Amino acid sequence: MSPRRAAVLLPVLVVAGLLSACGDDEDDPGASPPPSTATSSAPATSGSPSGTPGTEDDGRPDAPPFPADVEPDTAQASADAAVTVTGIRTGRHDGYDRVVLDVAGTGTPGWDVRYVPEASSQGSGAPIAVDGAAILQVTLTGVGYPTETGIEEYAGGTLPGAGTEVVTEVVWDTTFEGTSVAFVGTTAQRPFRVYLVEDPTRVVLDVVHG
């Protein structure tokens, strides 16, 4: 072969060899893929079935015992109370269901929680539909309007029970003249307890399964 012909064929052979090697990588299942430039997102944190934070850590070790009856539960607000309800959550626990009302502002709220024959708005007296065979009216006292406290109020509406056994739903009413009201539907009149937890401040309602 002449030197000139060899000089022409050499680059052709090199290119053919490179193309052959690339084809082998594509056909070989064991070949390593090129490094990816995509970034992975952090795993999403799980919450309660309703999509809101759970109620597992909202209790208190020295919570009052459950009463043997279904009589009303009341407590006084602090003298300097001016709070706003910022959220409501539900959850199921061993032996009872829990409803948590988150509040923010000055002082600590009081409450009046009792079974009522029907739900009606404290502002207008209009009937409110609540799913359940029994209805607990939860009235928080020591409440200020959001325009007074500067705190955004809970958006309201109906909150279904999050995997609960006795609590069917929570229906927000309104804030009116220093009180905020929510109605808790239950499958029957069951004993309940109410207590305050601070840092952050919240009112906890637990209803016995039965």
Q: Is residue 9 part of a domain?
A: no
Instruction: For residue range 88-118, list pLDDT tens digits in order.
Output: 999 999 999 999 999 999 999 999 999 999 9
> For the chain, what is the domain count?
1
User: pTM for this one?
Assistant: 0.74
**Which CATH number goes with the domain that contains 204?**
2.60.40.3500
Judge if the upstream peptide bond of residue 200 is cis by omega within 30 degrees of 0: yes
The tokens describing 18, both together, are 């490179």
DSSP designation for 127: B
Q: Is residue 173 part of a domain?
A: yes
Question: Any bridge partners for residue 97, and if so which?
Answer: 92, 207
At 59, the pLDDT band (50, 70, 90 cuts) reads confident
Q: Which residue has the tokens 């929680």?
A: 113
Mean pLDDT value of segment 77-86? 98
Q: Is residue 6 part of a domain?
A: no
The DSSP H or E segment spanning 147 is: helix 146-149
Q: Is residue 48 part of a domain?
A: no
What's residue 93's pLDDT?
A: 95
The rounded distance, in Å, linking the Cα atoms of 106 and 144 is 9
Q: Is residue 79 part of a domain?
A: yes
- If we measure between CA atoms, which residue out of 122, 112, 110, 126 comes closest to residue 177? 122
Q: Is residue 15 part of a domain?
A: no
Instruction: For residue range 119-148, list pLDDT tens digits in order.
Output: 999 989 999 999 999 999 999 999 999 999
Query: 121 lies in which domain range?
Result: 73-208
Question: Any bridge partners for residue 98, and if so which?
Answer: 91, 206
